[in-house]
């Protein structure tokens, strides 16, 4: 996969050299280009923003530098690989609190792309025509991390890159960790423990030390379901009842949670 990021703060992306993302780059599984939007300005002040039409607070990012930046990246200018046919398997992702909410499912979709371009907006956002024009050439997705507001898209892009890159084949040593983790099946992961068996008066749950793999699996499933029901009623409500068995339903209703479509449980 190749990821290009356009931003007025390239320094934000230092962490992409670190840890497992850095390793994925070093091993050739991932190519990253971080580009300063101001390279595509032509005035002495390297202006990227202006006041909003229609009035209102703040500033809006002008379309011209963005248009040139996207032209260059899509065409494979500045030493970037050529995109090929219209769009060339490139998808534009624009972080914004007004976007659709980023989820693990979206991370999987984006991880399947050959190329991603992230356009980091600041201020009140990017002139909408940049996205409308880009959408005539490639898929464009406006994405939000959640219901709160950041100064700009940079941190959101770091978050999304981490979620996406760890899904690329070969990046995680143990692919099993992907199958077990929170959100893999629409439920949260159960709590985890390691040595010592007792710490500050808190013992590890006895069952995890029993060696009975069937009971351990059932216990983990119970913990995962109870956690999900308590912390994330939205995830519980969205669960496909077909993924629940009779024991799951008994556990949840015993704990006072109604399960939609419980009669369909296996
Ligand atoms: Cl993606 N961008 C900004 N600026 N704020 C956000 C966000 C993104 N997601 C949540 N808040």
- Which of these three, 151, 173, 195, is where a domain ends? 173
Structure tokens at 86: 């219209």
Inform me whether the pLDDT recorded for 82 exceeds 80: no
Ligand 1 site, residue 65, Cβ cutoff 6 A: no
Ligand 1 site, residue 123, Cβ cutoff 6 A: no
- Choose among 6, 36, 18, 27: nearest CA to 162: 18
**C-alpha torsion angle, residues 165, 171, 172, 176 (rounded to 10):** 90
- pLDDT tens digits, residue range 31-66? 999 999 999 999 999 999 999 999 999 999 999 999
The reply to whether 167 and 213 lie within a common domain is: no
Q: What is the average pLDDT across 222-231?
A: 97
Per the structure, the count of domains in the chain is 2
Please enumerate in sequence order all residues whose Cβ is within 8 A of that of 195, keeping only pairs 6 or more positions apart, or say none: none
Could you tell me the pLDDT band of residue 262, with boundaries at 50, 70 and 90?
Answer: confident
Residue 221 sits in a domain whose CATH number is 1.10.1270.20
Q: Are 70 and 90 in contact (CB under 8 A)?
A: no
Residue 22 lies in a domain: yes
Ligand 1 site, residue 153, Cβ cutoff 6 A: yes
Inform me whether the pLDDT recorded for 80 exceeds 60: no
The reply to whether 152 and 46 lie within a common domain is: yes
Predicted local confidence at residue 184, as pLDDT: 82
- Which of these three, 173, 203, 228, is where a domain ends? 173
Q: What percent of the chain has pLDDT over 90?
A: 83
Tell me how crowded residue 72 is: count the other CB atoms within 10 A of its CB. 17
Q: How far is the CA of 164 from the CAs of 138, 142, 224, in angstroms?
A: 19, 16, 24
Predicted local confidence at residue 83, as pLDDT: 46
Residue 49 lies in a domain: yes
Q: What is the average pLDDT across 227-240?
A: 95
The reply to whether 159 and 193 lie within a common domain is: no
Q: Are 104 and 150 in contact (CB under 8 A)?
A: no
Going 79 to 81 to 82 to 86, the CA torsion angle's sign is negative
pTM, two decimals, is 0.91
Predicted local confidence at residue 261, as pLDDT: 84
Residue 58 lies in a domain: yes
Q: What is the average pLDDT across 114-127?
A: 95
Residue 169 lies in a domain: yes
Domain that holds residue 244: 183-265
Residue 113 sits in a domain whose CATH number is 3.40.1280.10
CA of 43 to the centre of ligand 1 (A): 29
Predicted local confidence at residue 123, as pLDDT: 80
Inform me whether the pLDDT recorded for 11 exceeds 50: yes
Inform me whether the pLDDT recorded for 159 exceeds 60: yes
Q: What is the average pLDDT across 111-131?
A: 96
Q: Are 123 and 56 in contact (CB under 8 A)?
A: no
The reply to whether 169 and 217 lie within a common domain is: no
The reply to whether 151 and 191 lie within a common domain is: no
The reply to whether 42 and 156 lie within a common domain is: yes
- Choose among 11, 22, 6, 7: nearest CA to 171: 22
The reply to whether 25 and 86 lie within a common domain is: yes
Predicted local confidence at residue 85, as pLDDT: 47
Residue 178 lies in a domain: no
The reply to whether 101 and 165 lie within a common domain is: yes
Ligand 1 site, residue 152, Cβ cutoff 6 A: yes
Could you tell me the pLDDT band of residue 263, with boundaries at 50, 70 and 90?
Answer: confident
Lowest mean pLDDT segment, chosen from 34-38, 123-127, 133-137: 123-127
Inform me whether the pLDDT recorded for 78 exceeds 90: no
Going 123 to 129 to 133 to 135, the CA torsion angle's sign is positive
Tell me how crowded residue 255 is: count the other CB atoms within 10 A of its CB. 12
> Given ligand 1 and candidates 103, 118, 124, 145, which is best to mutate, with the most ligand atoms within 8 Å of its CB?
145
Residue with the two structure tokens 């101001």: 38
Predicted local confidence at residue 84, as pLDDT: 47
Inform me whether the pLDDT recorded for 181 exceeds 70: yes
Q: What is the average pLDDT across 135-152?
A: 97
- Which of these three, 138, 173, 208, is where a domain ends? 173
- Helical H segments across 27-127, by residue range: 63-75, 104-111
Q: What is the average pLDDT across 146-172?
A: 96
């Amino acid at each position: 996969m190749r990821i290009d990021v356009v931003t007025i703060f390239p320094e934000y992306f230092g962490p992409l050299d670190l840890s497992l993302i850095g390793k994925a780059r070093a091993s050739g599984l991932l190519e990253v280009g971080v580009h300063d939007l101001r390279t595509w300005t032509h005035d002495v002040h390297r202006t990227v923003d202006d006041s909003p039409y229609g009035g209102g607070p703040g500033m809006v990012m002008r379309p011209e530098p963005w248009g040139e930046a996207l032209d260059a990246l899509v065409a494979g200018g500045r030493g970037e690989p050529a995109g090929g046919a219209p769009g060339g398997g490139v998808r534009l992702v624009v972080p914004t609190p007004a976007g659709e909410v980023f989820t693990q499912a979206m991370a999987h979709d984006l991880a399947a792309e050959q190329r991603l371009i992230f356009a980091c907006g600041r201020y009140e956002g990017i002139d909408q025509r940049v996205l409308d024009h880009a959408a005539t050439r490639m898929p464009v997705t406006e994405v939000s991390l959640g219901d709160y507001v950041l100064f700009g898209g940079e941190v959101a892009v770091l978050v999304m890159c981490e979620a996406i890159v760890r899904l690329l084949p070969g990046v995680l040593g143990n692919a099993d960790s992907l199958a077990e983790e929170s959100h893999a099946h629409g439920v949260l992961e159960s709590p985890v423990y390691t040595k010592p068996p007792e710490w500050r008066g808190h013992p590890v749950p006895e069952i995890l030390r029993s060696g009975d793999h069937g009971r351990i699996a059932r216990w983990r499933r119970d913990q995962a379901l109870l956690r999900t029901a308590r912390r994330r009623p939205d995830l519980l409500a969205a669960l496909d009842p077909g993924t629940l068995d009779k024991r799951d339903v008994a556990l949840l209703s015993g704990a006072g949670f109604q399960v939609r479509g419980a009669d369909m449980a296996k």
